[in-house]
Amino acid sequence: MTSDHGVLVLAATPIGDPRDAAPRLAEEIATADVVAAEDTRRLRRLCNDLGITPSGAVLSYHEHNEASRTPELVERLRAGARVVVVTDAGMPSVSDPGYRLVDAAVTAGIRVTCVPGPSAVLMALAVSGLPVDRFCFEGFLPRKPGEKARGLAALADERRTMVFFEAPHRIDATLLAMAEAFGADRRAAVCRELTKTYEEVRRGGLAELAAWAADGLRGEITVVVAGATPAVTTVEEALPGIQERVLAGERLKDVCADVAAATGLSKKILYDAALAARRPASGVPS
């Protein structure tokens, strides 16, 4: 990385309440050489809320000009500029413009950092009432019903809690499609207008939530869905898979821990059974 290069700063903006802005956000926007904003009008409102005025150039940077504007921003970074990227809400590059520029900056050896802050994904997880120890973010599902159904079918066995974004005019159809793919009683939470005046979190089974949303919802929506419950299996059924993975080079202890987490079976019982089942001369690593 060349020291005379600039710095790319991804700056998280409030997802609703402007009081959630990180103190450093105001400083970064006010002092940046370039502020690349998804919507310059929203940036102006945010600056009014923060009581600041950008001293550098303000450029639009959104999904329609991201490809053409990225090379220009990289050249400014190469020349030593501090470029701050802000989107309408939350962290740039997370279902928002920014990833393309980050990729180009990293390729060019330019430092990339961020101003951490509000996140609809993490807030929805925290208030959902669903397990948060392991989760995956799926963003927006495809709009076409067939593509959406196939995407959800591929996630039917996902054991981690899943987080989705959805538009208000599609939320009822999406919840119905989720109920079809995951089961009517799969637990979920619909989080609407987080941190705003009319914040609402509705929890329940997917079919119940679909019925509730049938008349439509308003605002920004994040959906959190519980992961699939592991199918009940026996130690005997699990052994062939354990033996196959160990023969492929994995450590027996690691495989047993993984299978135990996925099935709910005892790690010790799986380990003892695998030891008892292997041949003395097998040379299986433990």
pLDDT digits (tens, 9 = 90+) for 181-234: 999 999 999 999 999 999 999 999 999 999 999 988 999 999 999 999 877 578
The answer to whether residue 138 is domain-embedded is: yes
Chain mean pLDDT for the chain:
93
Same domain? For 44 and 146 the reply is no
Q: Which of 118, 145, 180 is the last residue of a domain?
A: 118
Residue 274 confidence (pLDDT) above 90: yes
Distance of CA 82 to the CA centre of its chain: 27
Q: What is the CATH number of the domain that holds 146?
A: 3.30.950.10
For residue 79, pLDDT beyond 80: yes
- Boundary-marking domain end, from 65, 98, 118: 118
- Structural domains counted in the chain: 3
Pairing state between β 111-115 and 7-11: parallel
Please report whether residue 1 resides in a domain: no
Residue 286 domain flag: no
Q: Which domain holds residue 155?
A: 121-225
Residue 281: pLDDT band (50, 70, 90) is very low
- Closest C-alpha among 231, 230, 177, 228 to residue 206: 177
For every residue of 257-272, DSSP letters joined together read: HHHHHHH---HHHHHH
132 and 160 both lie in a single domain: yes
107 and 137 in a single domain? The answer is no
CATH assignment at residue 113: 3.40.1010.10
Give the start-end residues of each E strand in the chain. Answer: 7-11, 34-37, 57-60, 82-86, 111-115, 135-140, 161-166, 187-192, 200-205, 221-225
Q: Compute the distance between CA of residue 33 and CA of residue 31 in angstroms, rounded to an integer.
A: 7
114/125 same-domain check:
no
11 lies in the same domain as 114 = yes
Domain boundary among 225, 244, 263: 225
Same domain, 218 and 255: no
Cα-based distances in Å from 88 to 71, 126, 280 = 22, 22, 63
Rounded to two decimals, the pTM is 0.78
Contact 173, 142 (CB under 8 A): no
* Percent of the chain whose pLDDT exceeds 70: 96
Whether 1 has a pLDDT exceeding 80, the answer reads no
pLDDT surpasses 50 at 2: no
> pLDDT tens-digit profile of 157-185?
999 999 999 999 999 999 999 999 999 99
- Cα–Cα distances in angstroms (integers) from residue 26 to residues 32, 45, 47, 59, 170, in the given order: 10, 13, 8, 17, 35
| 211 residue type, one letter | A
Q: Do 209 and 245 belong to one domain?
A: no
Are residue 109 and residue 170 in the same domain, yes or no?
no
